[in-house]
């Protein structure tokens, strides 16, 4: 989603800003812009890629201080006018903004009534005018931003530049901003990984924080004028932007990284002799695990599907009632929060606004919420304070692949830990631990020979819609397969628990309709194969994901894709891989922008 990068120091800012935006490109955006301070503020913006912006930059855009932005449209279409930065009418104030100004309509009307000519359809532009008006009233840059934000309702990651001041004023509320502390220079970005080439010393701003950046340092304070608790921390340099290597796309690279990232996630976190899991970051004793009344897992998109797999694993192993929730719905349904329950917020980016809001709602109502997160130091990880890092490493492609696997693996380890504290026998626990430890090699083996994926691509690529079916742990895998194909190939997909198909979606089937069925050799297999018959009877073309050696199942399919067999609780870790490959190859075949699909953002920082 929208990205922010800012710089003040002794270097020429323009190239630094463009490179900073490049490191934010993976988040998804539709336009970009830059403002540089010299004697005056000069600015350029355009729609499309950062490369377009670079190609239209005027040659003499020199200066040691500037701000740059990638925009993902919310209020107002994808136009040059709506791209950031936005400037005050006299051009002396420039702002870039992530988030949503909820009372922008009223503020726009008021500004127009005051005689201001607005240049864009955006909610963000009002900030430039409000700040400028405060400057005209004689307030300092910092106090001008403070006053403007007090007139505003909503979320912001904001940077403001002033014609007559060598500084950038930043503010955060609900939209991440990280300050990079350099030697004689300061940086700001919406994503810490944009900062790592320059500095590892960062300040994560909290909601309600403001910061004044100069070449000499950073001064933080609170919106209400109090002092801020913000401190400098050191982030891991190794978490840079991943190199694409010899792969044509990050998505394919990340699919192939799964064996290694699963090893990173599982290693040292299971105890075979005890059949147990060991997640130190939870800081939950066996006694505390025994006292948990119920568990709620919360996430969006792929993370939600991982929650749905995790829910089944937890109930299976620990016999504790568990629910998974769509994060965007959670907070608004006035959820009953019990102090005896455990809440787990699952997110790759750790910045998803819907999930973060759910976390805050739970905490506000006295619940305990822990993170199951990939990005170290992200907003949700910090808001939760405790939890599990899934250790996928950087995921660049908008379509999440290796993070799904590591979320499922992490939740499986959690299931073992709570299971062993409650009802899971050592013998059964050992079986899961053994199976889990074998998974990375099994995924590796499957990726060496992924079966007739390209045949499946031909069956799917021109279809008007694709139906995905599965039962038990394979039902969320079906949803994940459908989500992947929709987001990267733009083919409408439906996913249903296989038994539910005859209650409606079967009406879609006609001669040649592709139906992808996930059917590992678990207790649901026979029933799923009956549903396959029902589809075949209506002319559907069956693409079946089944266990290696299960020839009885394979024979029912038009295209049969075998994956290594494993324990039924963790079969999603294998069955999801051919679905990821299917989505990827269909998207390539259709000429889609695989790593940056249209309209999507990697990090969804607005609700
Ligand atoms: C996955 O392929 C999607 N791009 C999307 O659904 C994603 O999983 C969702 O936005 C949640 O993101 P998070 O894991 O960073 O919270």
pLDDT higher at 396 or 308: 308
Distance 540 CA to ligand 1 centre (A): 30
Query: Distance between CA 509 and CA 327 in Å, rounded?
Result: 32
Distance 260 CA to ligand 1 centre (A): 21
Angle between helices 125-136 and 141-150 (to 10 degrees): 130
pLDDT at 245 over 90: no
Q: How confident is the model at residue 24 (pLDDT cuts 50, 70, 90)?
A: confident
| Residue 591 CB burial class (10 angstroms; 0-12, 13-18, ≥19) | exposed
Whose C-alpha lies nearest to ligand 1, atom 2?
399
Calculate mean pLDDT across residues 458-471.
97
**CA angle in degrees (0–180, nearest 5) for 33-122-44:** 20
Calculate mean pLDDT across residues 124-132.
98
Calculate mean pLDDT across residues 190-210.
91
pLDDT higher at 27 or 281: 281
pLDDT at 340 over 90: yes
Query: Distance between CA 38 and CA 40 in Å, rounded?
Result: 5
Ligand 1 mutation pick, 254, 299, 302, max ligand atoms within 8 A of CB? 302
Distance 350 CA to ligand 1 centre (A): 10
Q: What is the mean pLDDT of the chain?
A: 94
What HEC string does 88-147 produce?
Answer: CCCCCEEEEEECCECCHHHHHHHHHHCCCCCCCCCCCHHHHHHHHHHHHCCCCHHHHHHH
Tell me the pLDDT tens digit for each residue of 342-391: 999 999 999 999 999 999 999 999 999 999 999 888 889 999 999 999 99
**CA angle in degrees (0–180, nearest 5) for 254-463-467:** 70
pLDDT at 393 over 80: yes
- Identify the CA nearest to 80 among candidates 69, 90, 88, 89: 69
CATH code: domain 449-594 is 3.40.50.10490
Distance 404 CA to ligand 1 centre (A): 9
pLDDT higher at 35 or 2: 35
Query: Distance between CA 414 and CA 296 in Å, rounded?
Result: 13
- Is 136 among the residues known to form the active site? no
Question: How is 574-597 classified by DSSP, letter by letter?
Answer: HHHHHHHHHHHHHHHHTT--TTS-
Distance 596 CA to ligand 1 centre (A): 13
Whose C-alpha lies nearest to ligand 1, atom 16?
347
Q: Which residues contact 241 (CB under 8 A, 6 or more apart)?
A: 23, 26, 193, 394, 396
Q: How confident is the model at residue 165, as a pLDDT? A: 95
Q: How confident is the model at residue 479 (pLDDT cuts 50, 70, 90)?
A: very high
**243-446 matches 3-240 in CATH topology:** no
pLDDT at 606 over 80: no
Query: Distance between CA 104 and CA 124 in Å, rounded?
Result: 8
Atom of ligand 1 nearest to the CA of 487: 2
Q: Which residues contact 182 (CB under 8 A, 6 or more apart)?
A: 9, 198, 199, 201
Distance 602 CA to ligand 1 centre (A): 7
pLDDT at 67 over 90: yes
- Identify the CA nearest to 40 among candidates 100, 90, 115, 83: 90
pLDDT at 240 over 70: no
Whose C-alpha lies nearest to ligand 1, atom 6?
301
Q: How confident is the model at residue 242, as a pLDDT? A: 60
Query: Distance between CA 76 and CA 63 in Å, rounded?
Result: 30
Q: How confident is the model at residue 239, as a pLDDT? A: 56
Q: How is the chain split into domains, by residue range?
A: 3-240, 243-446, 449-594
Distance 393 CA to ligand 1 centre (A): 15
For residue 353, the surrounding DSSP H or E stretch is: helix 353-364
Ligand 1 mutation pick, 356, 400, 495, max ligand atoms within 8 A of CB? 400
pLDDT at 97 over 80: yes
pLDDT at 280 over 90: no
Q: How confident is the model at residue 29, as a pLDDT? A: 84
- Identify the CA nearest to 90 among candidates 68, 123, 119, 110: 119
Give the strand pairing for 387-389 and 368-373. parallel
CA 512 to chain centroid, in Å, comes to 35
Token pair 């420039």 is at which residue?
94
- Is 2 among the residues known to form the active site? yes
Q: Which residues contact 545 (CB under 8 A, 6 or more apart)?
A: 516, 517, 518, 519, 520, 561, 563, 575, 578, 579
Token pair 């919420």 is at which residue?
369
pLDDT at 241 over 70: no
Q: How confident is the model at residue 238, as a pLDDT? A: 58
How many other CB atoms are found less than 10 A from the CB of residue 315? 16
Query: Distance between CA 527 and CA 516 in Å, rounded?
Result: 15
Whose C-alpha lies nearest to ligand 1, atom 5?
301
Q: How confident is the model at residue 74 (pLDDT cuts 50, 70, 90)?
A: confident
pLDDT at 26 over 80: no
Ligand 1 mutation pick, 388, 404, 408, 604, max ligand atoms within 8 A of CB? 604
- What homologous superfamily does CATH list for 243-446? Glucose-6-phosphate isomerase like protein; domain 1 (3.40.50.10490)
Q: How confident is the model at residue 25, as a pLDDT? A: 82
Residues lining ligand 1, Cβ inside 6 A: 300-303, 347-349, 352, 355, 398-400, 487, 600, 604
Ligand 1 mutation pick, 254, 301, 357, max ligand atoms within 8 A of CB? 301
Q: How confident is the model at residue 365, as a pLDDT? A: 96
Calculate mean pLDDT across residues 571-583.
98
Q: How confident is the model at residue 237, as a pLDDT? A: 62
Q: How confident is the model at residue 511, as a pLDDT? A: 95
Catalytic residue among 2, 300, 384, 519: 2
pTM value is: 0.83
pLDDT at 292 over 70: yes
CATH top class, domain 3-240: alpha beta
CA 336 to chain centroid, in Å, comes to 26
């Amino acid at each position: 989603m929208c990205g922010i990068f800012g710089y003040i120091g002794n270097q020429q800012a323009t190239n630094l800003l463009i490179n900073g935006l490049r490191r934010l490109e993976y988040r998804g955006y539709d336009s970009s812009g830059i403002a540089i301070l010299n004697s005056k503020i000069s600015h350029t913006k355009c729609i499309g890629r950062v490369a377009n912006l670079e190609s239209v930059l005027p040659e003499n855009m020199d200066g040691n201080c500037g701000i740059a932005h990638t925009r993902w449209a919310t209020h107002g279409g994808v136009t040059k006018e709506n791209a950031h930065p936005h400037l005050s009418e006299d051009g002396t104030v420039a702002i870039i903004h992530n988030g949503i100004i909820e009372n922008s309509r009223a503020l726009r009307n008021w500004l127009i009534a005051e005689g201001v000519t607005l240049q864009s359809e955006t909610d963000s532009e009002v900030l430039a005018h409000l700040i400028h008006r405060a400057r005209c009233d004689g307030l300092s840059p910092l106090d001008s931003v403070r006053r403007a934000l007090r007139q505003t309702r909503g979320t912001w990651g904001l940077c403001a530049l002033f014609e007559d001041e060598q500084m950038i004023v930043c503010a955060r509320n609900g939209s991440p901003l990280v300050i990079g502390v350099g030697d004689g220079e300061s940086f700001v970005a919406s994503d810490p990984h944009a900062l790592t080439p320059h500095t590892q010393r960062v300040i994560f701003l909290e909601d309600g924080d403001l910061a004044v950046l100069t070449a000499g340092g950073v001064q933080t304070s609170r919106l209400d004028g109090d002092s801020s608790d913000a401190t400098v921390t050191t982030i891991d340099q190794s978490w840079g932007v991943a190199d694409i290597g010899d792969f044509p796309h990050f998505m394919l690279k990340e699919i192939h990284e799964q064996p290694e990232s699963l090893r990173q996630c599982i290693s040292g976190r299971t105890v075979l002799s005890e059949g147990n899991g060991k997640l130190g970051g939870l800081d939950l004793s066996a006694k505390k695990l025994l006292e948990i009344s119920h568990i709620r897992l919360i996430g969006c998109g792929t993370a939600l599907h991982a929650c749905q797999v995790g829910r089944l694993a937890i109930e299976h192993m620990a016999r504790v009632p568990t629910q998974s929730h769509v994060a965007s719905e959670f907070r608004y349904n006035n959820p009953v929060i019990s102090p005896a329950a455990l809440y787990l917020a699952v997110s790759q980016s750790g910045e998803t606004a819907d999930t973060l809001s759910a976390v805050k709602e739970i905490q506000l109502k006295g619940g305990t919420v822990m993170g199951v997160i990939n990005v170290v130091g992200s907003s949700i990880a910090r808001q939760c304070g405790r939890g599990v890092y899934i250790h996928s490493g950087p995921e660049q492609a908008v379509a999440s692949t290796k993070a799904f696997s590591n979320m499922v693996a992490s939740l499986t380890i959690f299931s073992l830990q709570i299971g062993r504290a409650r009802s899971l026998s050592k013998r059964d626990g050992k079986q899961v631990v053994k199976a889990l430890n074998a998974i990375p090699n099994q995924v590796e083996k499957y990726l060496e020979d992924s079966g007739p994926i390209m045949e499946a691509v031909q069956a799917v690529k021109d279809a008007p819609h694709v139906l995905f079916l599965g039962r038990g742990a394979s039902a969320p895998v079906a949803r994940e397969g459908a989500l992947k194909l929709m987001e990267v190939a733009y083919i409408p997909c439906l996913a249903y628990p296989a038994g539910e198909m005859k209650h409606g979606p079967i009406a879609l089937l006609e001669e040649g309709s592709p139906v992808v069925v996930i059917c590992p050799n678990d207790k649901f297999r026979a029933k799923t194969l009956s549903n396959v018959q029902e589809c075949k009877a209506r002319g559907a073309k069956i693409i079946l994901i089944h266990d290696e050696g299960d020839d009885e199942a394979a024979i029912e399919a038009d295209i049969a894709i075998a994956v290594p067999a494993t324990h039924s609780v963790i079969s999603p870790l294998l069955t999801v891989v051919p679905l990821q490959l299917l989505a990827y190859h269909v998207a390539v075949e259709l000429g889609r922008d695989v790593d940056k699909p249209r309209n999507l953002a990697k990090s969804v920082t607005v609700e």
